[in-house]
């Protein structure tokens, strides 16, 4: 039966001698009443007070209280019961220490039923701050009830114990906070060390292994693994402790979608839980998930606190950032390597174009090539085949960049090879272009082709023979402003075999005439309204500048096109050759 008796009594009821009273604090006031506590009991209480106040160990205090009452009353059973509140504010009781009692429940809610079941008399333990619990005592050997004096002694003892227990609780809480502070400092130190060790020279696996070692060492985790997204699946790239990396694609996919750490249960993630996985932490970069950190429980099976999870989440975020830095560093290296290769390709391609244009008596010639990228697909040439025959050509390869540049190099090499054996008397321009077409057709992919125009000018007579293989028709602007487009020829190079001969067009350049060869980078240039430059603007420019030098005419055209386009933009490669007959 529970005995509801206050442990506090008015001070005027205390029956103590002064020396003894000075050894007790005001919170340890001893009760008395008409039934006074004997001198022997007072000595025992004073001695107990000294012992309890000398210790801050909760277990020692509880053990001493139980030993005191069991020894004094020859009891065989006693316990100390503490009380607390659950999250729902319901009061719950717990046996903090017991002697002679068996099969006690870990927690219980009905205090009277507990006392009745184990035949205990309960004495409240109340500190100045709060109700702590109860001292439960079994029956005396004589089965006689506790007398009033015995009640007073036990209540006095409980009152003395209350402050000691409260102090022990406070000390334990401070010690726990100190321990948590030490752990937090150690976690912070670990994170700082990790930040120092991560560097772009480490491989992906080295970064992940360093993260796993740090987390498992700090958290005393048995096993952990890091998964990264590769293609369409999560792959375990680093593993520690697990014999084989836990594999459950569906559950991993589900966890990967989570934005926050997830504590796994057997009900929610049965396969991974069966593989000893207890916690999943996302690895994210700029809010974008890149992988997962999976851990088992600790060796001690102590649950992870919020602070523990925050530490692991920060360590995972650090590793994710290190991986991202490494990826960006690798991309930079690749770009630098590509830039270097393109620069070499540009130098090689530039060498394929004429370094110097021929100087011809009675003629003025100029040319320009402005690729969109470092390497382009446009080609032009101008070279003397003998003392009086000038070969000129211009071509535009489909596409841009390296593929177009390689195709252009192939075209240039074929032209040079055939022209090495040039003999004016036997040379057939139509057959020459047909052979070039055959080579291009046999050595280029189906989706690649070349528009091409070439001609041979007899500088002595002014006769120009030309073949146009699908290229923008060059303009022959007469001195009087009339204009002829050179269209005659045949099919584009590389599309079909040479089934029929290319047609040759013959014109005579006279003094004041201008021959202008160009690629579609001029006529298809776009302005801000996406309108093309078109042939009409080019024709007007050529007519307006027909009296200028070749270089001046070329400069006027390029300047007009660049002014037409939005600043800093170039739609396509720009290539042109201008030949003036003086």
The pLDDT of residue 35 is 46
| Distance separating alpha carbons of residues 540 and 543, to the nearest angstrom | 5
pLDDT score of 29 more than 70 = no
Give the other-Cβ count within 10 Å of 116's Cβ: 12
The pLDDT of residue 555 is 96
The pLDDT of residue 302 is 87
Q: Are 93 and 79 in contact (CB under 8 A)?
A: no
**Listed residue (488, 395, 390) closest to 448, CA to CA:** 395
pLDDT digits (tens, 9 = 90+) for 445-464: 888 899 999 999 999 999 99
Average pLDDT over residues 40-51: 77
Beta strands 78-85 and 91-99, pairing class: antiparallel
The pLDDT of residue 418 is 92
pLDDT score of 134 more than 70 = yes
pLDDT score of 9 more than 70 = no
pLDDT score of 295 more than 60 = yes
The pLDDT of residue 39 is 66
| Distance separating alpha carbons of residues 486 and 108, to the nearest angstrom | 105
The pLDDT of residue 490 is 95
What is the DSSP code string of 431-453?
Answer: HHHHHHHHHHHHHS-TT--EEEE
Q: Are 349 and 408 in contact (CB under 8 A)?
A: yes
The pLDDT of residue 186 is 85
Distances (CA, A) of 123 to 92, 111, 136: 17, 12, 6
The pLDDT of residue 98 is 93
pLDDT score of 376 more than 80 = no
What's the gap between Cα 431 and its chain centre? 61
What is the DSSP code string of 64-100?
Answer: HHHHHHHHHHT-S-EEEEEEEE-TTS-EEEEEEEEES
> What average pLDDT does the structure give for the chain?
86
Q: Are 276 and 269 in contact (CB under 8 A)?
A: no
Q: Per-residue confidence at 40, pLDDT binned at 50, 70, 90?
A: low
pLDDT score of 12 more than 80 = no
Overall size of the chain counted in residues: 582
pLDDT digits (tens, 9 = 90+) for 380-432: 999 999 999 999 999 998 877 777 888 888 899 999 999 988 999 999 999 99
pLDDT score of 33 more than 80 = no
């Amino acid at each position: 039966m529970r005995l509801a008796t206050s442990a506090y009594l008015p001070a005027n009821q205390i029956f103590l001698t002064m020396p003894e009273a000075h050894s007790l604090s005001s919170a340890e006031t001893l009760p008395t009443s008409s039934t006074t506590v004997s001198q022997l009991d007072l000595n025992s209480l004073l001695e107990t007070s000294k012992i309890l106040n000398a210790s801050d160990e909760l277990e020692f205090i509880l053990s001493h209280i139980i030993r005191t009452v069991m020894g004094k009353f020859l009891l065989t059973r006693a316990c100390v019961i503490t009380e607390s509140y659950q999250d729902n504010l319901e009061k719950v009781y717990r046996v903090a220490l017991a002697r002679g009692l068996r099969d006690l429940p870990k927690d219980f809610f009905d205090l009277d039923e507990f006392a009745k079941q184990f035949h205990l008399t309960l004495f409240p333990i109340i500190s100045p701050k709060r109700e702590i619990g109860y001292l439960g005592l079994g029956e005396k050997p004589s089965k006689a009830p506790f007398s009033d004096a015995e009640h007073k002694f036990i209540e006095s003892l409980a009152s003395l114990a209350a402050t000691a227990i409260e102090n022990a609780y406070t000390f334990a809480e401070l010690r726990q906070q100190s321990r948590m502070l030490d752990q937090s400092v150690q976690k912070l130190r670990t994170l700082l060390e990790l930040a120092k060790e991560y560097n772009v020279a480490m491989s992906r696996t080295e970064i992940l292994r360093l993260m796993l070692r740090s987390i498992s060492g700090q958290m005393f985790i048995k096993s952990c693994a890091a998964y990264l997204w590769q293609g369409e699946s999560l792959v375990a790239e680093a593993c520690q402790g697990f014999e084989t990396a836990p594999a459950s694609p569906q559950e991993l996919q589900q966890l990967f979608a989570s934005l926050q750490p997830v504590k796994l249960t057997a009900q929610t993630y049965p396969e991974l839980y069966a593989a000893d996985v207890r916690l999943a932490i996302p690895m994210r970069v700029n809010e974008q998930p890149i992988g997962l950190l999976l851990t088992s429980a600790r060796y001690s099976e102590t649950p992870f606190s919020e602070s523990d999870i925050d530490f692991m989440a920060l360590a995972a975020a650090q590793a994710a950032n290190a991986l991202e830095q490494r990826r960006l560093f690798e991309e930079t290296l690749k770009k630098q390597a590509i830039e270097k290769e393109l620069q070499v390709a540009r130098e090689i391609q530039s060498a394929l174009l004429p370094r110097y244009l021929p100087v011809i008596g009675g003629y003025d010639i100029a040319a320009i090539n402005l690729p969109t990228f470092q390497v382009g697909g446009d080609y032009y040439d101008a070279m003397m085949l003998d003392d009086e025959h000038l070969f000129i050509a211009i071509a535009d390869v489909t596409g841009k960049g390296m593929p177009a540049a390689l195709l252009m190099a192939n075209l240039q090499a074929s032209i040079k090879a055939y022209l090495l054996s040039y003999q004016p008397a036997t040379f057939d321009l139509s057959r020459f272009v047909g052979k070039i077409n055959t080579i291009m057709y046999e050595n280029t992919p189906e989706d690649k082709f070349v528009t091409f125009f070439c001609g041979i000018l007899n500088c002595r007579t002014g006769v120009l023979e030309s073949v146009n293989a699908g290229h923008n028709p060059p303009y022959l602007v007469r001195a009087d402003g009339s204009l002829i487009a050179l269209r005659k020829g045949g099919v584009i190079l590389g599309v079909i075999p040479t089934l029929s001969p290319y047609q040759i067009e013959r014109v005579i350049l006279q003094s004041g005439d201008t021959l202008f060869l160009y690629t579609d980078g001029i006529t298809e240039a776009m302005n801000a309204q996406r309108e093309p430059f078109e042939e009409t603007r080019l024709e007007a420019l050529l007519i307006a500048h027909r009296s200028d030098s070749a270089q001046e005419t070329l400069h006027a055209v390029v300047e007009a096109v660049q002014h037409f386009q939005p600043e800093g933009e170039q739609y396509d490669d720009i290539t042109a050759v201008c030949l003036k007959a003086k």
